[in-house]
Amino acid sequence: MRLHLSLLASCLLLAGALAAPAGAQVQVQELAKGNGITHLRVSNGYFDVEFAPESGATASSFKTRYGDKEWIFPGYGGMFRTVFVGVGFPTSDLAWIKHTYQILDPGPEQVVLEFRTLTKENVTVYRKMTFPSGSPVVRVQLGMINEGAQSTVQGLWPDFMMYLSGVPEHNRYYRPSIRGVSETGWDDQTKTMTGTDYERNPYEGWTAALNTSTGEGLVWLMDYNWLKLLYNCNNSWTAEWSYDYATLPKGGKWETEYDMILTKGFPGFCHASPQVIAGMTMTPRGDRLEITHTLSRSVAGNLKDVRLTAQLRGVDSGEVHDLPALTCGDLTWEPQRQVQTIPVKMDQRLVCDVELTGLSAAGASLQESYSYYWPGSQGEGFDLMAGAGTTTYRRPAPRKVKEFLKPPGLAYYRKPEPRMLECRGPFYHYFRVPELATRAGISVIEDSYLTQTFAGTSLTYFPGSYEEMFKQDLLVLNNVTAPSLTDFGQDAVREFVKAGGSLLVLGGQFSLGAGAYRNSVLGDVLPVQVSATPFDLVRLDPPGRLMVAPAARVLHGLKLPETSACFWLNAVQPKPDAWVEITAGDRPFLICGRYGAGKVAVVAGTVCGEPVGTQRAFWETDDWPDLLCPVLRWMLGDTP
Amino acid sequence: MNLGKLAMVVVCGLLCLAGRAFAQDQVTVSVWPDKLLYDPGQTANLDVTVVNPGKQPVQGRLTVKVLWEMAEAQTVLDQPFLVGPEQQQRVRALWKTLDVLGCEARADLFVGDQRLAGGSEYFNVCPTREMQRVGIYAGGGSSGNFFSTSPANLDALTADVLRGRSCYGNFYEYFGWPPDTYANLAPAGDEWPSVYGWVQKAAVRHAIAQAHRQGLKVMCYAAGYAYSLTAGELARRHPDWFMYGDDGEIALGPDIPKMDWQRNPDHRATSVMAGWAVSAFPNFTRRETVDFGLQQIIASTRMFGWDGVRFDGHYLLYPPGSYDVTGKRIPSGEAAAAVERLNTRTVRSTITKLFPNYLFMYNSGTDAADLDEECRGGGGVGYEPIRGAWLSTAPTHSWQGMADFLNREADRARARGGYTYPLMPCVWDVCPNVDRIQYPIVFACGNHPWFAGPTLDRASDRGGSHYPIQKDLFRFATRFSAVLWGRGIQRVPAPESLVAVTSPGDRAWWKDFVYQRPLAGGKRQVVVHLINRPDQPNLDANNQQLPAPLTDVVVKFQRPPLRVWLATSDPALTYQQVPVENGVVRVPELKLWTIVVAEMEGE
């Protein structure tokens, strides 16, 4: 998690001490463009940027100290543009609408601008931008305020469309992912922009772009805890990312910060943080592998006494090769290159783990680690696939941490007429939840629906406040993903169940492992350990016949007269305090447990597959209501 | 004014009035082939209509000829002809068609040695299985109630086909009609909800029948992705048949309310509920998924009588970087290419065993790994991203970039037996001057027009209609399809060895557009496209200017041709043999596009 205020302070304090070009004091000018339009131009020795408040407050011109070429291409080009998640560019009004501006600080140490607009969604979106003198860094505080009468769920999506160094060739993009650094963009062989646009599994809070010919690059640092995905539209030369949806109650505010750093001299990027920017290449040289480290400081200031220790690890073999420690000394904005070689079998997948130590500008000790994945000399460049049908290298993404303000005195009580909210994903109707819930005594049923777009999954409705969540008695997640609830929604569910509410989770292609429950707040609440792999949908062959488990408490003694079967289920393991009610074959099918004062049941079975011959799908038989209704009654009753 | 001058003015005035009256009374002759595209050996019915609006009978000889190539001709009717005063008379000439590609049917009425009136119409003769050699897109259906069986709509479907034909579009690809482009192309029942609205089976059949009546081919739009509840259900029944993202989520793109509506469709809710309910990608590494789609196409062809299939993404491993249900990476690189080649080959070979003349068209561009398979047997290769040529970032934004790209596409496909179809211009953004320039480039580069068909005009299209320009240029391309796309045609990589062109300011653009093709009798044809290069280097959708006409364009052939013709469509279709002196031909005026066709000895 980034400590923004302290970093900003250190960034600004150090700005004057950097190797700034002569006459590099930052300046801002208001440029009259006619027809009442005014542009703002900021120059600080590293770059010269012009903003168009009348058109999304987009940077309509951008030039750097390294060349006089215009980076913003005609037409749709622009930098620092913001759109709403799920609306996209160029559809989003936010990309084009007029912003007001204020020059909060005209210099000379720094220039601070603020752009602000009220969108048709009744949300004020603002962007406060800080340009220190003689610094390659732009700091952006990006936020939104809900001006409407109802709570709303919105996400922001920053968008940079430009040619690095002003030319369309040689533009490459770097995204930290659970599979290593995923690269996309210019392909030297085909002379076109090619590769995968989306990186949906970021691993750290940064992304970067580089002109591999000129060496000019841009690194963006953003808050990993709010980072949803990274994106580069190869057809349009963009660097973009999406933040998670934020739930904004009436008058609620959401704010984040990101930095954009102009770099020169990196051959590529494998890691970036407020302390350090790093690139790594691995090149076979005869029987030795040459590892080149490129390092510079980042926004937090120069670094002293930097040492680097690297270890090479075979992904498949598990072999570990320690590399000699490297002494880097001081790190400034000028990238420093260190090369080491090692004899190693090169037709294998390798990971280089780096440990970096040193002192911050203020003298505090610093430790930072990062990794670089190399698919081997037979690999496919940065396509991280090692071959058809193989398991891909992946590392678990660090868990995101978000904190939400909870109203005081929040308490759950069961309503005289029990209420249920069912969040419905694909094929939800096969589970017949409303029918069975009514049979179990639930009086009020509300619903919500899953949608999946390029920006991920979302629900048509989910409580926007803790109070709203606590109005329910039972929440049913019927084949919906954890991210569709938003992080706030998951926190609300946790508080709701902890306080005594009930949660029923039903399996499917959008649930449990496939629904990103693992490593989520929602996963904490469940009585099952969700599979370590998101590919947890398992075919039962032969189909798993439903049986009451020996440890069953709620369904103990229940007869399941119909020989119904489950064909596919999400593979889960019961947590220590949980118990299995029903098995399908030898797999847990229905698992119950407690979380705080609440009750939670997970049906790991799915409605996938189809019966063959005399087989009968469980959801089509009377076994299903016979087992689910008692569980629903248990969840809403006083029986422990 | 003296009396003499006055008398002269009066006489001139009277003569003008008389001339106008004579013009109004002029006999007209028109000819109409019953089809736009024939198979060789079919009989073309050439209906000639002679109208005599005058007060006197007209007697003479009526001749009907069919002309092809630059000077080949066959007289199919030559008979005495009498048409009474204020009468219209029809006569039908029959022609057993020859395999000659572009043709002109010309009817002339002679009185004595004088040609009193005449008219021409144009068509192609090409074997069905090879028809994409002369392919010109006519349309693709539309949204709303396009396929309803209301009488008004059936009339509209008929009119749509006639409009397509009147613009010389010779094939349709009907999209938006099926419940699903992959999972359900042969719907049970008489009506169903599609992504655009309700569709009635009888209306689809009516539209296809109307197109066939005019000699147009009709392709079924199919894809390697799926968008309806049917496909969603397939993914539920067979989770292992579909692709998953690296987060383990199936790439299903569900819209649950739409899925619910498709489960219990209600006519009243169509306007809000039409659209994609899912967007799922089958895992085409599995033979079952390929077979499933294949059987849908076969069943659909039996149900509707399609002439072919136009894939909008065929059975490829897409999206890249996907996984199977167990978390195994879907192959990429050469391993993926091998699977895709096999799938494309399997689909084509299976279908053509049942329907030997079936047409295949793909939306892949020529960088496709399975290009050999796509092109084999005369497949069409579309390229959709070129519709973004108006964007300044597009490599095809410059006119030169566009020509380079289109030449590359056509060369690659031609070498493999296929034909290329760039998707241009952008259908909803009409800039007539852009059309006037880019269509000649499309043709001069050996490509075929696709997608912005004349029947796709909509009231909301910015800038009007592509139709008038398409009509002129597509007529020209129909007449000279042999010169544009004839068998054995090859682009000449070093054209200076054959020909040199000089023009004021070197404005005539030609080096990218020189071809040779073999002719019967051991001769060969050299084809030089002259394009008046626009002053603006880039396509400008907002303010495209046309270049000023060029005069004194001189074409010098290194070896003297036997005969040379100039053909143009600026805007009227004209062609004529021109004199050659020492291998030199003079082009008196180059407006936008003129073709110089030289017949040479065969060496």
ipTM of the complex, rounded to two decimals: 0.84
d(Cα B45, Cα A502) in Å, to the nearest integer?
78
Which residues share a beta bridge with B93? B46
Residue A387 at interface with chain B, using a CB cutoff of 8 Å:
yes
Q: What is the pLDDT of residue A380?
A: 44
Q: What is the pLDDT of residue A30?
A: 97
Q: What is the pLDDT of residue A377?
A: 76
CB contact under 8 A, A449 and B329: no
Q: Are A31 and A40 in contact (CB under 8 A)?
A: yes
Q: How confident is the model at residue A407 (pLDDT cuts 50, 70, 90)?
A: confident
Given a cut of 80, whether residue B182 has pLDDT beyond it is yes
Given a cut of 90, whether residue A3 has pLDDT beyond it is no
CA distance B334 to chain A (A): 10
Q: Are A263 and A335 in contact (CB under 8 A)?
A: yes
> What are the chain B neighbours of A608 within 8 Å (beta carbons)?
236-237, 239
State the number of CA atoms in the 13 A half-sphere of B394 facing the CB: 21
For B277, which residue in chain A has the nearest alpha carbon? A451
Q: What is the pLDDT of residue A604?
A: 98
For B332, which residue in chain A has the nearest alpha carbon? A388
Interface mutation target, options B227, B228, B242, B247, chain A, most CBs of A under 10 Å: B247
CA distance A446 to chain B (A): 14
For B230, which residue in chain A has the nearest alpha carbon? A427
A296-314 residue pLDDT tens: 999 999 999 999 999 999 9
Give the residue-averaged pLDDT of B20-29: 66
Selection from B518, B406, B424 nearest residue B473 by Cα: B424
Q: Are B458 and B426 in contact (CB under 8 A)?
A: no
How is residue B332 written in tokens? Answer: 């990429």
Residue A378 at interface with chain B, using a CB cutoff of 8 Å:
no
Lowest mean pLDDT among A386-400, A420-434, B567-581: A386-400
Q: What is the pLDDT of residue B1?
A: 41
Q: What is the dihedral of CA A263, A265, A267, A273, to 10 degrees?
A: -40
Give the residue-averaged pLDDT of B586-600: 97
Q: What is the pLDDT of residue A379?
A: 55
Report the mean per-residue pLDDT for chain B.
90
Q: Are A244 and A227 in contact (CB under 8 A)?
A: yes
- Which percentage of chain A shows pLDDT scores above 70? 94
d(Cα A56, Cα A116) in Å, to the nearest integer?
9
Give the residue-averaged pLDDT of B41-59: 97
- Which percentage of chain B shows pLDDT scores above 70? 92
Given a cut of 60, whether residue A18 has pLDDT beyond it is no
CA distance B264 to chain A (A): 12
CA distance A33 to chain B (A): 22
Selection from B445, B511, B443 nearest residue B476 by Cα: B443
Q: How confident is the model at residue B8 (pLDDT cuts 50, 70, 90)?
A: very low
CA distance A607 to chain B (A): 7
CB contact under 8 A, A390 and B325: no
Phi, psi of B240 (to 5 degrees): -80, 0
CB contact under 8 A, A533 and B331: no
CB contact under 8 A, B329 and A427: no
Q: Would you tell me how many other CB atoms lie within 10 Å of the CB of residue B94?
A: 12
Phi, psi of B353 (to 5 degrees): -65, -35
Question: What is the number of CB-based contacts under 8 A between chain A and chain B?
Answer: 136
Given a cut of 50, whether residue B377 has pLDDT beyond it is yes
DSSP A493-533: HHHHHHTT-EEEEE-STTSGGGGT-TTSHHHHHSSEEEPSS
Local structure of A463: helix, strand or coil: coil
A236 vs B253, B321, B393: nearest CB: B393
Q: Are A204 and A210 in contact (CB under 8 A)?
A: no
Q: How confident is the model at residue B459 (pLDDT cuts 50, 70, 90)?
A: low
A residues 210..269 contacting B (CB < 8 A): 235-237
Given a cut of 90, whether residue B566 has pLDDT beyond it is yes
Q: Are A600 and A584 in contact (CB under 8 A)?
A: no
Q: What is the pLDDT of residue B250?
A: 83
CA distance B201 to chain A (A): 28
d(Cα A534, Cα A570) in Å, to the nearest integer?
10
Lowest mean pLDDT among A158-167, A609-618, B288-297, B512-521: A609-618
Q: What is the pLDDT of residue A382?
A: 31
Phi, psi of A509 (to 5 degrees): -75, -5
B378-425 residue pLDDT tens: 999 999 888 878 777 778 889 999 999 999 999 999 999 999 999 987
Residue A566 at interface with chain B, using a CB cutoff of 8 Å:
no
For B336, which residue in chain A has the nearest alpha carbon? A388
B131-151 residue pLDDT tens: 999 999 988 765 455 788 888
Given a cut of 90, whether residue B267 has pLDDT beyond it is no
Residue A534 at interface with chain B, using a CB cutoff of 8 Å:
yes
Q: Are A217 and A264 in contact (CB under 8 A)?
A: yes
A319-351 residue pLDDT tens: 999 999 999 999 999 999 999 999 998 888 899
Which residues share a beta bridge with A424? A449, A478
Q: Would you tell me how many other CB atoms lie within 10 Å of the CB of residue A633?
A: 15
A390 vs B329, B367, B395: nearest CB: B329
Give the residue-averaged pLDDT of A356-365: 93
CA distance B239 to chain A (A): 7
Q: What is the pLDDT of residue A15?
A: 38
Local structure of A175: helix, strand or coil: strand
Report the mean per-residue pLDDT for chain A.
90
How is residue A284 written in tokens? Answer: 């076979």
> What are the chain A neighbours of B260 within 8 Å (beta carbons)?
429
d(Cα A564, Cα B240) in Å, to the nearest integer?
22
CA distance B324 to chain A (A): 9
d(Cα B28, Cα B13) in Å, to the nearest integer?
26
Q: Is the peptide bond before B422 cis (omega within 30 degrees of 0)?
A: no
How is residue B519 written in tokens? Answer: 């002719």
CB contact under 8 A, B367 and A424: no
B328 vs A235, A389, A534: nearest CB: A389
State the number of CA atoms in the 13 A half-sphere of A448 facing the CB: 21
For B237, which residue in chain A has the nearest alpha carbon? A609
CB contact under 8 A, B327 and A75: no
Phi, psi of A429 (to 5 degrees): -65, -25
A196 vs B235, B249, B321: nearest CB: B321
B149-177 residue pLDDT tens: 888 889 989 988 998 999 999 999 988 88
Rg (alpha carbons) of chain B, rounded to whole number? 27
CB contact under 8 A, B256 and A610: no
Q: What is the pLDDT of residue B123?
A: 98
d(Cα A210, Cα A190) in Å, to the nearest integer?
18
Q: What is the pLDDT of residue A261?
A: 98
Q: What is the pLDDT of residue B466?
A: 85
CA distance A180 to chain B (A): 13
> What are the chain B neighbours of A510 within 8 Å (beta carbons)?
249-250, 252, 254
Q: What is the pLDDT of residue B445?
A: 98
Q: What is the pLDDT of residue B18?
A: 39
CB contact under 8 A, B393 and A452: no
Q: What is the pLDDT of residue A408?
A: 86
